[in-house]
Structure 1
């Protein structure tokens, strides 16, 4: 197996160092995901840029964005991101029943949020090859055509991190350990 570096600000390639400094300032530490991504300045910048766009340019709430992220994390089997995003949701005061449903892949009680979860799941599983009915169900729940495309942004954001974690086997940060997740339950 190939070992990948978990960089510090000092050991990272020069073009990744400012990005890692930004992570440290934002989180109080450099998350291992960012430290691994630092090997490729392009990957780290792409990930952070898409994450920022997803958080600031969509019209989705924190809960809605996390539904998209966690649905992809679970379907892609990303143990690192499941734990990290559980911690993010707890800090963002996402309702506990939503967190539990997302971790377990079970329906969310709120029908509108459940429609978003189902749609995000279909985008992932069908690789974007949706039927008109899939889109109609999301629109009928009160979402917009913009939401259809914002789900794609969230899916792309999670592909960057999920695939990185699969390849590098990114070690879980101590701060996320309480929310460790396994596909086996």
Structure 2
């Protein structure tokens, strides 16, 4: 059986329940990302994801730390779209070119505290939340708090939604993101 074609919705063709959400995204971003238009097939998915993003954005993690979590999840889950979308976001929040390059490559980060965050995020993913004590201890020893560990779990859950959905629907890279195209290392 072949993969069904997923509909790229417009605010006029989308299910009624999600039209105001799509209009708000379009206003905020100046265009309607194709990934959002594809997720609109399931209003609950799109609204749930955007609600989770809002919750994650309100955590105690600063914007650079949040982007470290997002890009770590995106590269691990091989979501070319999420990596491309969050590369300029990290730069806008003050992420250095070295930080951006390391996250995109999945290599050690130049700042020890952020590297501890990246490694902890990977541990959450790899151990499905059952992070070994030594890995949690290393995270806390780098200056993070127990609350941040839970904030990471929220980020992992939030961006697992988008990475999985984008891969399922084969979301394309929108033209404004072409300069940030990414493919997983072979």
TM-score (norm 1): 0.96
How big is the shift at 1:18? 0.5
1:10 to 9, 12, 15: 12
Structure 1 vs Structure 2 CA RMSD: 1.0
How big is the shift at 1:109? 1.2
> Unaligned regions of 5+ residues in structure 1, if any?
none
Q: Which runs of 4+ in 1 moved over 2 A?
A: 90-93
Q: Distance in 1 between matches of 2:94 and 2:11?
A: 31
Residues 96-141 of structure 1 deviation map (CA, whole Å, 9 limit, x = unaligned) = 1111110001111111111001000111111112111111111100
2:181 match: 180
Q: Distance in 1 between matches of 2:92 and 2:34?
A: 19
Q: Distance in 1 between matches of 2:71 and 2:81?
A: 11
TM-score (norm 2): 0.96
> Unaligned regions of 5+ residues in structure 2, if any?
none
Confirm whether residue 30 of structure 1 aligns to residue 32 of structure 2: yes
Alignment of 1:1-185 (within 5 A): 1-56=3-58, 58-184=59-185
Q: Could you tell me whether the CA contact under 8 Å between 1:16 and 1:38 is conserved in 2? A: yes
